[in-house]
Chains A and B, each alone.
Chain A
């Protein structure tokens, strides 16, 4: 099993350019998440998707859009990249259970984005 796969792993953009980060999981998980992590900082939630067809804003959604294409795939789009969006982006997924206990989050390897 590949787990959570993110592409691309590295990207350099110029201010104003657009791009889409792709995320796919092969664990049949219901819920998927996008986080960003700035150097020396913790993770901040951008958007999440509880299930196919639904998406919700996280802590820092401005400047981003997401699409839950199907159960496996959750993409993050930067419509007009800004230097402040230079960061490492992590996609994660978890299986939604019927009880109160959280599912374990599985993370991808990250996508390093630099906006010049």
Chain B
């Protein structure tokens, strides 16, 4: 399983764009990159997933360089409600050879200030 490294915490202000980078040097050819968001006292919630280049949805964008050894979650114009822990996951995906381990790291604690 590819190990991921993220900053422990980040601070930003309302209205700013926030970029959280995740390193995954040992990513395997078949691995996808997935990000989850977790609010206090709740289970994580899926944000976005990608394999290469750029993926965008209504919540965020995910940038993946050609070597796929890192990825960046971009949150446009954050608000106070974006204060949460963000997890980057790589590898261990169900469907390819039966369900495998889905491992969460420590995540990045994002704090948004007024």
B95 touches which one: A92, A98, A108 (CB < 8 A)?
A: A98
Q: Contacts of B36 on A, CB cut-off 8 Å?
A: 105
Tell me the minimal C-beta distance from A33 to chain B in angstroms.
6
A99 touches which one: B42, B87, B95, B98 (CB < 8 A)?
A: B95
Query: Is the beta-carbon distance between A107 and B95 smaller than 8 angstroms?
Result: no
Given contacts A100-B96, A102-B49, contact A59 B43 (CB under 8 A): no
B54 located at the interface, meaning its Cβ lies under 8 Å from any Cβ of chain A in the complex: no
Q: Which of B10-18, B67-75, B101-109 is the contact stretch?
A: B101-109
Tell me the minimal C-beta distance from A107 to chain B in angstroms.
3
Question: At the interface, is chain B mostly helix, strand, loop or mixed?
Answer: loop
Near B by CB (< 8 A), chain A positions 31-50 give: 31, 33, 35, 41-45, 48-50
15 intermolecular pairs with C-beta atoms under 8 Å apart: A4-B43, A35-B104, A42-B106, A43-B87, A45-B104, A50-B100, A51-B99, A58-B101, A94-B99, A95-B94, A100-B93, A102-B32, A105-B102, A108-B43, A109-B42
Greatest chain B CB density within 10 A among A33, A42, A109 is at A42
B81 located at the interface, meaning its Cβ lies under 8 Å from any Cβ of chain A in the complex: no
Given contacts A31-B94, A31-B99, A94-B94, contact A100 B104 (CB under 8 A): no
A7 located at the interface, meaning its Cβ lies under 8 Å from any Cβ of chain B in the complex: no
Interface magnitude class on chain B: 20 to 34
B98 touches which one: A42, A50, A59, A108 (CB < 8 A)?
A: A50
A114 located at the interface, meaning its Cβ lies under 8 Å from any Cβ of chain B in the complex: no
B45 located at the interface, meaning its Cβ lies under 8 Å from any Cβ of chain A in the complex: yes
Query: Is the beta-carbon distance between B95 and A110 smaller than 8 angstroms?
Result: no
B34 located at the interface, meaning its Cβ lies under 8 Å from any Cβ of chain A in the complex: yes
Q: How far is the CA of A30 from the CA of B99 in the complex (A)?
A: 9
Query: Is the beta-carbon distance between B94 and A43 smaller than 8 angstroms?
Result: no
Q: How far is the CA of A110 from the CA of B45 in the complex (A)?
A: 13
Query: Is the beta-carbon distance between B106 and A41 smaller than 8 angstroms?
Result: yes
Q: Contacts of B49 on A, CB cut-off 8 Å?
A: 101-102, 104
Q: What residue of chain B has the Cβ atom nearest to residue A98's Cβ?
A: B95
